[in-house]
Amino acid sequence: MSLPAILGGNPLRTEEFPDRITMGQAEIDAATKVIKTGNLSGFLGAAGKLFLGGPEVRKFENTWAEKYGFKHAISVSSWTAGLQVAFGAVGIEPGDEVICPPYTMSASATAAMFYGGIPIFADIDPENYCIDPKSIKERITERTKAVVVVHLFGHPADMDEILKITKPLGIKVIEDAAQAPGVFYKGKPVGTIGDIGGFSLNYHKHIHTGEGGLLVTENDDLAHRCQLIRNHGENAVDMYELDTLANVIGGNFRFTELLATIATVQFQKLDKILKHRQKLAKYVTERLENIDGLTVQKLKNDMTHAYYMFPIRYNAEIIGLSRNLFVRSVAAELPKPRIWETTPLAEAYVKPLYLEKIYQQQIAIGKKGFPFTYNDIDYKYEKGLCPVVEKLYEEEMIISPLVREPLTINDMQDFVNAIIKVIENSTQIQEKLGGDSETGFMDPAQAIDNIIDDE
Ligand SMILES: Cc1ncc(COP(=O)(O)O)c(C=O)c1O
């Protein structure tokens, strides 16, 4: 057995993993064409044809909508903006409760607060890592207006069970599919299984335009409201027949012609990217699934997965190493990352959102506790609120951004072999380094910081 690299042995691989290459000649050509027109945004913030954007924006929206059969696709400047627009469109008002998972990017919950919505956190399912329908049920009150469903890491949430609960109560469902473009659940594309949903086009996503997003819905009224809120709606309400003006006060959440033309080219690459990640994930899953102490996701036949991240549930007791020591030991076997995307493993993903200061101190909009104080209810964001999430955060969750293009099965082989080498040598590593008192996690933020610090 060769000496583990963390104990001074030779690393399993020294050749660096390739970066993501996201932009090519087609994007350059498309962008150049638009730049030459001199018109980088076709929007006009007033009633009329250009209220819905210029030709590139509308082309991009139609391309995505047609491919998946979405009735409406509405581009936005980011998916955070998209979430804010969606909360406005579904009619969130001050004091409305919005049930969200706490294991997600912060905006899935905070965006509701711009309308005075109060995030109420439900626990997640320990297998698909998405919001748990049983926990949603426990959190519902007469003030519940919406549920946010995040298809975390690209695995679809249990939409049927969620809708069974929400539909009879008239509770709106917003699908945060930022990490799950092109994902199917029981034959349906995620995004429009609930009332409204959407995708992120930020740099880290499968396809991107640096920043950007796309809202999708089957509902005409919601689509019109989104279009209004995206673009100074108060100026253009006469374009639509609305039953109420509530929340149509708008902003500038518009996408640009330049980004839209790049997005159209990027979109043509999505299927290939998804197929590639699925092939790599299948290989990694098959090699890790029988290892005691590691749990990889088992995907049901009637759904697909986008593998935005490859999650592994870790059992320190069985492996015999703390999660932190395991992650560091695997990293030592592999080339030093230069960017987040070449980092082999990271701990924890994100802190459960309700443990963040904004919820702990209940200060969000202004200094008087709005929206938390609106209902005269003592909202509790205490530790212990969502035990599954807390355990994943503190002990079990490991994610990898390596299961992606343009890495190959050979790269995956090295990645898996590094994991196996560490497990086979865990007793030796534990004996030598098990007493080290590590502080903090090597979470994604820390991993990125370490790389930046080294530069
Ligand atoms: C689950 C989730 N929701 C929301 C967002 C916000 O998207 P954006 O960065 O496009 O504003 C992200 C982005 O990381 C995300 O992963």
Task: Find out whether the beta carbon of 119 lies less than 6 Å from any atom of ligand 1.
Answer: no
Please identify which residue in the block is written with the tokens 């253009």. Answer: 236
Q: What's the confidence (pLDDT) of residue 443? A: 84
From residue 67, how far is each of 61, 240, 302, 404 by CA, in Å? 10, 26, 19, 23
Task: Find out whether the beta carbon of 177 lies less than 6 Å from any atom of ligand 1.
Answer: no
Task: Find out whether the beta carbon of 84 lies less than 6 Å from any atom of ligand 1.
Answer: no
In the DSSP assignment, the letter for residue 395 is: I
- The low-confidence residues of the chain, meaning pLDDT below 50, are none
Query: Three-state SS for 398?
Result: strand
From residue 260, how far is each of 48, 69, 71, 79 by CA, in Å? 20, 19, 19, 14
Q: What's the confidence (pLDDT) of residue 419? A: 98
Kindly report the backbone phi and psi dihedral angles of residue 314, in degrees, each rounded to the nearest multiple of 5, phi listed first.
-110, 135
Domains observed in the chain: 5-16+270-351+390-454 (3.90.1150.10), 25-269 (3.40.640.10)
Q: What's the confidence (pLDDT) of residue 455? A: 64
Q: What's the confidence (pLDDT) of residue 75? A: 98
Q: What is the pLDDT of residues 345-398, one digit of tens each?
A: 999 999 999 999 999 999 999 999 999 999 999 999 999 999 999 999 999 999
This prediction's pTM: 0.97
Q: What's the confidence (pLDDT) of residue 437? A: 62
The residue nearest atom 9 of ligand 1, judged by CA position, is 202
Q: What is the pLDDT of residues 79-113, one digit of tens each?
A: 999 999 999 999 999 999 999 999 999 999 999 99
Task: Find out whether the beta carbon of 178 lies less than 6 Å from any atom of ligand 1.
Answer: yes
Alpha helices in 40-117 (DSSP H): 55-68, 79-89, 107-110
The CA 80 to ligand 1 mean position distance, Å, reads 6
Out of 75, 76, 77, 80, mutate this one to test ligand 1's pocket (max ligand atoms within 8 Å of CB): namely: 80
Q: What's the confidence (pLDDT) of residue 449? A: 82
